[in-house]
Structure 1
Amino acid sequence: ALVHNLSHGGRLPVFKAYASGRVTGAGLQPQPDDAVPRFDYEDHVRALVEKRIWPESTRRISELRLTIRYESASFFSRRLGRGKLHLDIVDYPGEWLLDLTLLSRDYATWSGEALAFARAEGHDAVAAPWLARLATVDPGAPEDETLARELAALFTEYLGACRRSDRVATQPPGRFLMPGDLDGSPALTFAPLPVEGTPPAGSLAAMMARRYESYKSAVVRPFFRDHFARLDRQIVLVDVLDALDAGATALADLEGALADVLSAFRIGGTGWFSSLVTRRIDRILFAATKADHLHHGDHDRLEAILARLVAGAVGRAKFAGARVEVLALGSVRATREGTVSRRGEALPSIIGTPLPGETVEGRAF
C-alpha cells in the first residue's frame, strides 16, 4: 500500500512532505542486495485488484527499494537541486522476530520457559499430547534419533495448535511452523526437555541442546547479522483484533511476545558518531492492523489497547533513546462506514464483504 500510494499519487495526508508537495515522485529501483529475493509487489497488486485475492502471509525474507525524489524544506538545500532518498523495505515473517529472543537464552533456560508456558492454564489443553509423551521420556537417557524426531513433531504440532487457538504465534522457534528448505534437518529436530544446567554428554538432552545451538547458529544469528542488525527503523504489525477475538489468554500471550521482541531489538539513539560504530533502531512503530474492520470512531480505542500491551517495553525503549509510536492502520480499505438502526437508535457500523467460504449468521459466502 505504501509503495502503491507513493508511486501512483495516492492520498497520504499525514505524510507532511507529500501533502505539501515536496515529494515530487517515487519509483521502484533495483534493490541493493542481490542475494535476497525481491518482494513480488506487482503480482500481489495484480491478484488483489484483478482477482480480489488477499496476498498470502509472508513466508520468507524479501526486499524492495523505493526511490523517492523530493525537495528539501531548507532554502539553502533547495538551491542545490532535488534530492533522492532510497527507502529499502525488508519484509520477513513476524515469527522470525520471536527467534531473536533465543540468542540470549541457553537450552535449559528456553526449555524451562517453554514448558512453563505449555503447562499454564489456557495452553495445557493444546499441549496435552506433547506433554503426555514428554512425561515418559528420560532426558538423561542415551541420545535417540527416532525419539528426537517424534518429540520434535509433537512439539511442532503443539506450536501449530497454539497458533490456531490463539490466532497469533507467540512461541519460538518460528521456523518450526515454516521450515522451508530446513524441513527435516537436525537443526529443526529438537524440543524442550526438563533439564537444569549442562546435560551429560551423549544423552538425549545433550543432543537436543546441541541442535538448539545449531538452530541459533545456522538460522537465527545469520538473520540477525545479515538483515536485522542493519536496520535503523522497525515497523511491527500486530493483529490485535484477532487476539481480542481469541480471548484473554491470547491477549496475555501477545503482550508477553511483544515485550520479548522489543527486548531483542538493538535500540538507541543514532547520532553521527554512534552510526559510524553500529546501527541501532531509533524509531519503532507498533501498528494495529485491520483498522478498516472498525468504525473510525473506535480507532483510538484500538490504539489504546495496543499501547497498553507494549507499555512496559516502550518505556524501556524510550529510556534507551528510541522514539516509539503506536498507530491503527489498514493497508487497504476493504469496508465502508454506515449506520444501523437498533431500538430506534442509529449506531455507527462498517459494511463489507465476507471472505469466500466464510459463514455469517448461517449464511455461507
Structure 2
Amino acid sequence: MPFDFSDMIEEARISARALRDFSEHLFNPTLRLGITGLSRAGKTVFITALIHGLTRAGRFPVFEPLASGRIARARLEPQPDDAVPRFDYERHLRTLIDERAWPNSTVDISELRLVIDYQRQNGAERTLTLDIVDYPGEWLLDLPLLNKSYEQWASESLALSRGSARSSLAAPWHAYLSGLNAEGPMDEQAALTSAKLFTDYLRACRDERFAMSLLPPGRFLMPGSLAGSPALTFAPLDVPEHGNAPDGSLWAMMRRRYQSYKDVVVRPFFRDHFARLDRQVVLVDALAAFNSGPNALFDLEAALAGILDCFRIGRGNFLNALFRPRIDRILFAATKADHLHHSSHDRLEAVLRRAVARAVMQAE
C-alpha cells in the first residue's frame, strides 16, 4: 500500500516520543523490556517469578551478575506511565503461593518498574531502571494489518480458514457467509452476525485441542471495553483482493470498520507501547502445539514468523535512539518445560528452534 499522510503523522509521533524518552534516559538509564506470548504461554507466572527472584535474591545460576553477587539489590518503584495499569505483582504472588492457583491470563497491557543496583565487571557501581511491559501476544499479530487493505486481509483470512485444519471449525461462519451479498446494502444485523460467527471460529481455533496460533484480529478474542463497538463488528467477506467497494454497500461498511480497528486499536498500541521497547521476550507454549499435531506446529511457525516481522530489528545507534528506536535483542523461550523430564529439554528446545528458524533467517 502507498505511504500516506496518516503514516507520516504516526512516524512523527513515534520520533517525538523517542526523543523525549532519550532525553529522560540520559539522566536515568532505562531499559524497556517487553514480555509477551500467545494465550496460555505463561506470561504472568514468568514475570511474577522473575520479579520475585530478583527482589528476593533468588537462585539464577546461569544469570552471571546475580550468581556472582554483582547485583547488590533490586527494588520495585512506582509505575511511571499514568495511562497504563500496573502489573499486579503482589496479587499474582499471593495467588501462586497462598492460594496455590494460577493467576488470570493477560488480557490487557500492564507495566512494572524495577530498579537494579549493580556492579559492572570493571568494578564501577551503576543503577539500571527496568520497565517490564506485559501485553498479549495476540496484539502483535495485529501489527501486520497496518500494511494490509481490508480486501487483502479478507482474502488471506478466508484462504486460511478453508485449509484442511480449519475448515470444519469455520463451517458455521462459511455457511452464513455464502448467503451474504457483499455489494448489497449495508446491514447492521449482517455485520453483527458475521462478527460473532467469525469470533466463534477464532475461539474454536484457539482451543487446546487444536492450539492454532495465527488468529488476528487479536482484540476479537479479548475485546475489553471495546466489546460491541463498530470497531470490533466486522468480518472478512468473499471479495476480490483488488476490487472496489460500492458506496453504501456491506463491503464498504466492513472496510470502514476494519480501518477503524486499525486506527482505534492497532496504531495506538504500536505508537504508545510497542515502538518504545528496547528488548523483547516472546514466550512460546511449544508443547501445546506439539501435542495437537503437525497442523498446529505449522500454524505456530507462521505465527512466530509474523511476530518477528513486526519488530524493527537491528542494533541501535545514537540516531536510532533519538528518532527511531529499535529492538536489538529478542529471546524466544519455550515455557512449561517442567512438564517434561529434564533429559528431554534439549528436544523441546529443538522444536522451538525449528519453529522460529524461518523467522530468525529473516532477522539475520
Q: TM-score, normalised by structure 1?
A: 0.84
1:41-120 correspondence to structure 2 within 5 Å: 41-75=89-123, 78=124, 82-120=125-163
1:216 is aligned to 2:259: no
Match of 2:214, SS state, is coil
Distance of 1:100 and 1:195 partners within structure 2: 22
- Is the Cα contact below 8 Å between 1:190 and 1:212 reproduced in 2? yes
CA displacement at 1:167 relative to structure 2: 2.5
Distance of 1:190 and 1:147 partners within structure 2: 9
Identity among equivalent positions (%) equals 60
- Is the Cα contact below 8 Å between 2:161 and 2:170 reproduced in 1? yes
1:300 is aligned to 2:346: yes
Amino acid at match of 1:193: L
CA displacement at 1:31 relative to structure 2: 1.6
CA displacement at 1:34 relative to structure 2: 1.2
Match of 1:287, SS state, is strand
Of 133, 136, 143, 2:179 maps to: 136
Amino acid at match of 1:21: G
Aligned residue number for residue 330 of structure 1: none
Distance of 1:274 and 1:175 partners within structure 2: 30
Match of 1:140, SS state, is coil
Match of 2:72, SS state, is strand
1:244 is aligned to 2:285: no
Aligned residue number for residue 17 of structure 1: 65
**CA distances 1:109-135 after superposition (whole Å, capped 9, x unpaired):** 100110001000010000000001101
Distance of 2:70 and 2:353 partners within structure 1: 32
Amino acid at match of 2:92: H
1:179 is aligned to 2:223: yes
**CA distances 1:330-349 after superposition (whole Å, capped 9, x unpaired):** xxxxxxxxxxxxxxxxxxxx
Aligned residue number for residue 163 of structure 1: 206
Distance of 1:259 and 1:223 partners within structure 2: 20
CA displacement at 1:268 relative to structure 2: 1.3
Distance of 1:222 and 1:123 partners within structure 2: 31
- Is the Cα contact below 8 Å between 1:64 and 1:90 reproduced in 2? yes
Match of 2:73, SS state, is strand
Aligned residue number for residue 32 of structure 2: none
Aligned residue number for residue 237 of structure 2: 193
C-alpha RMSD over aligned residues: 1.0
Amino acid at match of 2:235: A
Distance of 2:103 and 2:214 partners within structure 1: 22
- Is the Cα contact below 8 Å between 1:140 and 1:200 reproduced in 2? yes
Match of 1:143, SS state, is coil
CA displacement at 1:168 relative to structure 2: 4.2
- Is the Cα contact below 8 Å between 1:168 and 1:242 reproduced in 2? no
Structure with more of its chain in strand, by fraction: 1
Distance of 2:142 and 2:319 partners within structure 1: 30
Amino acid at match of 2:182: P
CA displacement at 1:180 relative to structure 2: 0.6
**CA distances 1:230-275 after superposition (whole Å, capped 9, x unpaired):** 0011111110001111111111111111111111111111123322
CA displacement at 1:100 relative to structure 2: 1.0
Of 310, 315, 318, 1:264 maps to: 310
Match of 2:169, SS state, is helix
Distance of 1:122 and 1:73 partners within structure 2: 52
Amino acid at match of 1:231: L
Q: How many residues align?
A: 313
In terms of mean alpha carbon deviation, does 240-249 or 195-204 score higher?
195-204
- Is the Cα contact below 8 Å between 2:213 and 2:296 reproduced in 1? no
Amino acid at match of 1:116: A
Amino acid at match of 2:185: P
Distance of 2:323 and 2:260 partners within structure 1: 29
Match of 1:25, SS state, is strand
Structure 1: which 5+ residue stretches go unaligned? 319-365
CA displacement at 1:299 relative to structure 2: 1.0
1:146 is aligned to 2:174: no
* Structure 1 stretches of 4+ moved >3 Å: none
Aligned residue number for residue 126 of structure 1: 169
**CA distances 1:95-118 after superposition (whole Å, capped 9, x unpaired):** 111111211111001001100010
Amino acid at match of 2:158: L
Aligned residue number for residue 329 of structure 2: 283
